[in-house]
């Protein structure tokens, strides 16, 4: 009995080379789907998380630098009493009076505050800023590695699909 080929009954079987090409094309299509899934489900979310973490670290560094500037201005003014407006939330401000500005409360994390002198607070801020800067640099290196992995996956996808190279002008949009 003659096998039923897609060409119809009695047609000659396709050559082996054409079957191999079709099988390779199907395998390549499967690999393309795997690489695309890895790209969208793993690499891009990981990159997003790392960049969000780094942004939060930069925000903390900015808050410490702002506190440092306030402390330095308080030291320069040498006044013992301070009147200011404090935000209670939702842009609702009240007038506050600080009778003694020789000490300051600094958040050390997990909802704990420590009363420090200006010199102690400046040392604490310097240490925290250095530590957070190191952590931000590590996160930047991690994001660069992930971006490299994304680039490698995109190049593999281009190779599997038969494209020459990735367009350089569109690379900024990917990252």
Q: What is the pLDDT of residues 100-110, one digit of tens each?
A: 888 889 988 89
Model pLDDT, residue 21: 62
- Read off the pLDDT of residues 142-158 as tens digits, 9 standing for 90 and up: 999 999 999 998 888 88
Tell me: pLDDT of 165 over 80.
no
User: How confident is the model at residue 66, as a pLDDT?
Assistant: 94
CB count within 10 Å of CB 64 equals: 19
For the record, the structure tokens of 169 come out as 């002008």
Pair of tokens at residue 91: 């842009």
Q: What is the DSSP letter of 99?
A: S
**DSSP H or E run through 112:** strand 112-117
Tens of pLDDT, residue by residue over 28-59, are 677 888 888 888 999 999 999 999 999 999 99
- What predicted TM-score, i.e. pTM, was given to this entire model? 0.71
Task: Please say whether the beta carbons of 92 and 85 come within 8 A.
Answer: no
For residue range 72-100, what is the model confidence (pLDDT) as tens digits?
988 888 778 888 888 888 999 999 998 88
Q: How far apart are CA 155 and CA 161, in angstroms?
A: 10
DSSP classification of residue 80: S
The percent of residues in the chain predicted with pLDDT above 70, rounded, is 77
CA 150/CA 90 separation, integer angstroms: 41
């Amino acid at each position: 009995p003659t096998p039923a080929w897609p060409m119809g009954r009695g047609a000659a079987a396709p050559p082996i080379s054409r079957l191999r090409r079709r099988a390779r094309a199907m395998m390549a299509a499967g690999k393309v789907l795997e690489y695309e899934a890895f790209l969208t489900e793993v690499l891009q979310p990981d990159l997003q998380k790392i960049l969000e973490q780094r942004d939060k670290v930069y925000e903390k560094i900015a808050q410490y630098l702002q506190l440092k500037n306030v402390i330095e201005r308080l030291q320069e003014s040498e006044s013992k009493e301070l009147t200011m407006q404090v935000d209670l939330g939702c842009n609702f401000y009240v007038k506050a009076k600080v009778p003694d500005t020789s000490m300051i409360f600094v958040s050390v994390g997990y909802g704990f505050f420590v009363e420090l002198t200006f010199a102690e607070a400046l040392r604490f801020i310097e240490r925290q800023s250095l530590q957070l800067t190191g952590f931000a640099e590590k996160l930047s290196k991690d994001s660069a590695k992930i971006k490299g992995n994304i680039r490698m996956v995109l190049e593999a996808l281009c190779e599997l699909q038969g494209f020459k190279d990735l367009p350089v002008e569109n690379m900024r949009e990917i990252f």
